[in-house]
Chain A
């Protein structure tokens, strides 16, 4: 007779899941490509840690100063900063979290309480949570050094605040997961999210224009903010510092009420998941049978200058582009950025007040910035191919055709986007001088084509699968990010040096000539790179297929 599984303690289950996550990370590092990725992540993580440590000192100093100078009420500002970071950043940097499907644990004999606690415990393992905990600890230390008497209350407040934050973050995450279970909703959400992020840039110019009018309105809203968790945490601490135990109990009590409310809501969500809530998409309902294809394919091929294979890839890339809401936004963002930057730094907008940067500086600067944004996806250009990558190796074509098709589509889109951006620049800032216009155009050819060869190499060497309209687990390979970063710094540095050399030497046409020469070199280099890259793809095809077919 089979044994009956014995119940396992929650701590043991947390330990087991922690072990599982660690083994996933360790085993993934066995592969060379993953190791390189890990190195890239460590470099990025190093910079992230430096920022967290520096801010910890800032939080320590601020908490110390507020309590030492008797301005304990201001502590609410620090709690607000942490609160916003903890709740907003998980959505923005979800891709940096470990790709671990928490719900897969449901097949094990966990009770709901254990499932809830493990879910909560893993909320503390994400980067925003760890950073926020560091800052809360730094605040606690700063407050305790300034006023040792507040330490017990501070520990209570910080513990409740941290628990509240992690509960709310998991709650928002689980709501989002439910909301985004459908592919179309997911894509729409990603689009709206990116748009809202871009829109944040308008806050500065709008405030400078309408700030005076909006300030009284904002001040009328302020009292309502004081009943939200970060303000309550700050008020509780201020009450203790001012020796008002009743006020402390009231603020702390409300904080705990929030905690209970969020916990109850999270419990409800986790209970639904525990009962087997089905979020996956079912196949679309069948439509009435109609003829699938029009006869338009019988007409002349508009891409007949290209080989059938390259033309097929260009068409496929175009279709992928039209079904990728995020790509649309990437294409739209340059024009938005031109408006934002011209409102802040150049042009005829009243906020600049006629003291902006000249078109001769703004024009190449803006073009450089746009290329930086638009070229970034090229460093992992097979990201969305998924299992389709196998077709490129089973079909009768050379891999140079695949690269050519993809690059041609990218260049077409870039050209269109750059022309639109140029028109926007002319409207917003004005035309630069003729020599600067020619130099910038030649520099665009040099930097774009120069990057393409390296980006193709990076795409073949450090591929990383990505899904349309999905944010969790979406990130480029660490090495691809480093390669893109280094290339763009190098080409940007060369371009800036050439532009300034022209200015310093008083030879206005020198940059145009130098960039034209470099553009010819870049085109030659690109052409020469296609065959070696084809051989590289043949050598790397196994790792490429493995990375994209997961």
Chain B
């Protein structure tokens, strides 16, 4: 039986009267490239924050790699890497210093941290600015550094919140290749993105969250079969997405009311 990397049970998060994440039961098998989709404000970032320990759930439970997060958060965090919303960088360190800091925070010895930092900086094409502090990096460079920091300790699960936003096509290509190699070696990748084409190309499995509720979950083939009744390889992820959470009657009616814009 395949190992379960992420399992949530009735995971809920409320902010006052708003239920941002509403009793979701998520299951991600180890080694999957998992896309987590939803419209703006659906609860994607909140879910990823809960799964990485940045937010506490109001109720429900979650297990990562079979370990209960609430009972043993430090053990779970040792196994995961995160590129959070906003990237979470220390802006007054240089790229190399930041990677060394993160490596040591994850308990790597100095020599290993040093070697991996060098390799990652080379791979991310950040090695030519050794004295530039992160605050002076461009957005794309910061994104690459955040990703480098997330993988420096060789995590078994990698959480990526909009990893390709602001990254140029060249770097994005290299990153995609890296991520694909990581999944081949058994790393589970949990990714949110608004670019459905990227998710469709990279992810083997997808879940869709809408208004805090998990409305679909499965492999791309299962989702295609779910909307057309039979497997149809021509159905794109965008069509699946729109058919599940897309324009409903209310939005169309509102669009008609905006006739003054036409």
Contact = CB atoms under 8 A, between A and B. Distances in A.
The CB with the most chain B CB atoms within 10 A, among A293, A542, A549, is that of A293
A291 B117 CA distance: 12
A395 B77 contact: yes
B54 A393 contact: yes
A217 interface: no
Interface in B214-256: none
A295 B117 CA distance: 12
A292 B260 contact: no
Interface in A136-152: none
Contacts of A289: 127-128
Given A388-B91, A396-B106, A292 B86 contact: no
A2 B258 CA distance: 10
A297 interface: yes
A313 B135 CA distance: 19
The CB with the most chain B CB atoms within 10 A, among A287, A319, A389, is that of A319
Interface residues of A, number: 49
Given A315-B101, A319-B97, A394 B54 contact: yes
A311 B121 contact: no
A297 B113 contact: yes
A391 B261 contact: no
Given A284-B136, A309-B107, A2 B128 contact: no
Contacts of A394: 52-54, 77, 80, 82, 84, 88
Contact of A398 (B52, B55, B56, B74): B74
Given A311-B104, A396-B75, A287 B54 contact: no
B122 to A, nearest CB: 8
A393 B55 CA distance: 9
Interface residues of B, number: 54
Given A309-B104, A396-B74, A283 B93 contact: no
Nearest to B76: A396
Nearest to B131: A287
A389 B110 CA distance: 22
Interface in A1-51: 2-3
B138 interface: yes
Contacts of B86: 387, 390, 549
A124 B164 CA distance: 45
Contacts of B5: none
Given A386-B90, A394-B77, A298 B136 contact: no
A316 interface: yes
Contact of B128 (A3, A286, A391, A398): A286
Interface in A283-321: 283-284, 286-293, 295, 297-298, 301, 308-309, 311-313, 315-316, 319-320
Given A284-B136, A293-B130, A545-B54, A396 B101 contact: no
A542 B15 CA distance: 11
A395 B105 contact: yes
A436 to B, nearest CB: 41
A387 B88 contact: yes
Contacts of B89: 387-388
Nearest to A539: B56
A468 B133 CA distance: 13
A401 B230 CA distance: 55
Contacts of B82: 390, 394
A476 B5 CA distance: 42
A159 interface: no
B70 to A, nearest CB: 11
Contact of A316 (B90, B108, B133, B135): B90
A209 interface: no
Contacts of A360: none
B132 A284 contact: yes
A323 B114 contact: no
A384 interface: yes
Contacts of A286: 128-129
A319 B261 CA distance: 54
B56 to A, nearest CB: 8
Contact of B92 (A287, A384, A545): A384
B96 interface: yes
Contact of A283 (B54, B117, B127, B137): B137
Given A386-B91, A391-B90, A397 B74 contact: yes
Interface in A527-544: 538, 541-542
B176 interface: no
Interface string A350-394: 000000000000000000000000000000000011111111011
Contact of A293 (B75, B117, B129): B117
Interface in A257-287: 281, 283-284, 286-287
A328 to B, nearest CB: 14
Nearest to A304: B110
B101 A308 contact: no
Contacts of A290: 128, 130
Contacts of A386: 90-91
A387 to B, nearest CB: 5
Interface string B63-87: 0000000000011111010101011
B130 A298 contact: no
Nearest to B86: A387
B173 to A, nearest CB: 20
A183 interface: yes
B118 interface: yes
Contacts of A538: 56
A309 to B, nearest CB: 5
B147 interface: no
B153 to A, nearest CB: 9
A381 to B, nearest CB: 14
Contacts of A542: 54-56
B118 A292 contact: yes
Given A284-B132, A297-B113, A3 B54 contact: no
Nearest to A2: B261
B111 interface: yes
Contacts of B97: 316, 319
Contact of A323 (B100, B109, B133, B137): B133
Contact of A312 (B96, B101, B137, B138): B101
Nearest to A324: B92
Given A386-B90, A387-B86, A390-B54, A395 B102 contact: yes
Contact of A2 (B113, B118, B260): B260
Which 7 pairs between the two chains have the least Cβ-Cβ distance?
Answer: A390-B88, A388-B90, A312-B104, A297-B114, A396-B77, A292-B130, A396-B78
8 contacts: A283-B136, A283-B138, A313-B105, A315-B104, A386-B90, A396-B75, A396-B77, A541-B55
Given A298-B111, A309-B107, 20 more contacts: A2-B260, A281-B136, A283-B136, A283-B141, A284-B136, A288-B128, A291-B118, A292-B96, A292-B130, A293-B117, A315-B104, A316-B97, A387-B89, A390-B86, A391-B102, A394-B53, A397-B77, A538-B56, A541-B55, A545-B54
